């Protein structure tokens, strides 16, 4: 009897332990499920609050329609600094401040001229053109010379000085229309705009003409920065529309062609400006910063709506939404309006330099500089030894964002936040649908009416949701939500 009772007690103890283990597992699973549900409901609240209470679209209307194009160093850029400072002040953030900078101050001057002259094929015809940023001017009388066409800087160098000296070089490599990612197509062609004029000058060219950076075939010329050579190899550089690039190429193929070009743009003395910064201080890990931002400057043509007024207003809206829903972050959430991305990147470099001097750590930085179109996801990068850990940690929660059509991909972040990479945090870039972006990029067509309110708010809500997930869980795969 004693032996039977002993075995019976052991059996009961064994199964009691098994039941206890299953009970604990059930509790843990339940807790995990509760966390997922809490996160899902909060992200839903983020989107609903942004759709119904956002001010990003109204802010963008003022920035673009009342202030307009905001070339670094201009009065409009100064007005944009004051406007965004005041907007952040109204949000009752913990801190708002200006970071002083000295920025390059390039001015466009009068409307540029590019003209085919006395062609046996076409006669004389003006082409739709716009001076490239940072370019020197031709002087009031302009210049004329024979034009030669190349597809790349390598082709130019193969021609050599004998074929180039005294000529105008026409760079006519199009963006590759076969690429689904139009930013990849842009990257494959934009080198001729950035470095092409200087390389042509080194071989004795007197001017440069560049095909506009767009997949569209239209009559809209696109500006954008070209490189300044410190050794003085700088020549007038002007972009022409894609339709006129095709026309010019056709004319050149049939007979020697001469071009007259005129511009009176040029660089002035560096001018004072600012990055605009606001933050909500973290309650638990205040020294870990999660940054959101865009670049406040734009080209002087158009209104800088998609590039990058949309990204700036989305970034401010992230902090506004967090305040609206009463969310107190564990980490410091900081919003930065970077100045001078378009023709110098001074704002991004100076911000990182000062951050490094203060020994700050940006756990994550998210930039929106792809337009205010429907968000498709985020690209991300980090130093190699950290990237896999960060990507895996964030991916573990990404199912929460899948219902909103957002993907998470390796590669890409943003030009202004890239200097922060040395701090070892995660760099991310909002990736909107890009198929229409280069129809407006750097043109007079980049105006407020091209931005859809719903799409703009979707991007802001997507950024806010990612900020929430990183703030709650960190990026080491170990932290639990509070």
CA within 13 Å, CB half, 133: 21
Rg (CA), the chain: 27
Helix (H, G, I), strand (E, B) or coil at 21: helix
Tokens (6 digits) for 75: 């009065």
Alpha-carbon span 185 to 213, nearest angstrom: 9
Q: For tokens 């506009």, name the residue.
A: 212
- What is the DSSP track for 463-482? HHHHHHHHHHH-SSS-----
DSSP 8-state assignment for residue 223: -
- What is the DSSP track for 232-279? S----EEEE-HHHHHHHHHHHHHS--EEEEE---EEEEEEEEEEEEEE
Tokens (6 digits) for 10: 């052991």
Check: CB of residue 437 under 8 Å from CB of residue 372: no
Alpha-carbon span 118 to 120, nearest angstrom: 6
Give catalytic status of residue 165 as yes or no: no
Q: For tokens 């170990």, name the residue.
A: 478
Alpha-carbon span 146 to 121, nearest angstrom: 15
Helix (H, G, I), strand (E, B) or coil at 181: coil
Alpha-carbon span 406 to 433, nearest angstrom: 11
Please identify which of the residues 149, 341, 342, 350 carries the catalytic annotation: 341
H helices of 143-259, where? 153-159, 161-164, 182-189, 191-194, 196-202, 242-254
Residues with active-site annotation:
341
């Amino acid at each position: 009897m004693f032996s039977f009772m002993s075995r019976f007690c052991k059996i009961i103890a064994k199964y009691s332990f098994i039941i206890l283990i299953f009970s604990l597992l059930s509790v843990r699973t339940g807790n995990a499920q509760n966390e997922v549900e809490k996160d899902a409901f909060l992200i839903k609240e983020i989107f609903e609050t942004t759709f119904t209470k956002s001010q990003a679209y109204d802010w963008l209307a003022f920035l673009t329609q009342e202030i307009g194009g905001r070339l670094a160093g201009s009065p409009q850029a100064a007005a944009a600094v004051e406007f965004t400072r005041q907007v952040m002040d109204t949000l009752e953030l913990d801190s708002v401040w200006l970071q002083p900078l000295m920025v390059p101050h390039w001015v466009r001057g009068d409307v540029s001229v590019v003209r085919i002259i006395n062609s046996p094929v076409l006669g004389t015809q003006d082409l739709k053109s716009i001076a490239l940023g940072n370019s020197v001017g031709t002087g009031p009388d302009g210049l004329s010379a024979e034009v030669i066409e190349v597809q790349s800087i390598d082709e130019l160098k193969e021609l050599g000085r004998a074929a180039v000296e005294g000529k105008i070089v026409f760079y006519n490599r199009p963006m590759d229309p076969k690429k689904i990612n139009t930013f990849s197509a842009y990257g494959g062609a934009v080198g001729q705009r950035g470095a092409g004029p200087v390389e042509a000058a080194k071989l004795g060219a007197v001017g440069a003409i560049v095909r506009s950076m767009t997949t569209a075939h239209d009559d809209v010329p696109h500006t954008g920065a070209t490189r300044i050579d410190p050794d003085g190899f700088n020549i007038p550089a002007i972009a022409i529309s894609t339709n006129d690039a095709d026309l010019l190429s056709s004319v050149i193929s049939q007979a020697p062609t001469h071009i007259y070009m005129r511009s009176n743009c040029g660089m002035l003395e560096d001018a004072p400006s600012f990055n605009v910064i606001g933050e909500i201080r973290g309650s638990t890990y205040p020294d870990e910063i999660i940054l959101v931002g865009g670049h406040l400057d734009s080209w002087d043509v158009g209104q800088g709506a998609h590039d990058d007024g949309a990204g700036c207003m989305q970034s401010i809206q992230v902090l506004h939404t967090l305040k609206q829903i009463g969310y107190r972050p564990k980490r410091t959430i900081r919003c930065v309006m970077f100045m001078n991305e378009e023709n110098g990147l001074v704002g991004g470099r100076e911000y990182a330099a000062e951050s490094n001097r203060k020994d700050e750590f940006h756990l994550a930085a998210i930039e929106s500089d792809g337009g205010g179109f429907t968000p498709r996801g985020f690209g991300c990068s980090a130093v190699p030894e950290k990237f896999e850990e960060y990507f895996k940690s964030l991916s573990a929660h990404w199912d929460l964002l899948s219902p909103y059509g957002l993907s998470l991909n390796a590669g890409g972040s943003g030009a202004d936040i890239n200097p922060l990479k040395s701090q070892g945090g995660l760099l991310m870039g909002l990736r909107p649908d890009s198929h229409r972006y280069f129809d407006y990029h750097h043109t007079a067509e980049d105006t407020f009416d091209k931005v859809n309110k719903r799409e703009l708010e979707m991007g802001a809500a997507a950024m806010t949701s990612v900020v929430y997930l990183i703030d709650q869980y960190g990026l080491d795969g170990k932290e639990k939500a509070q």
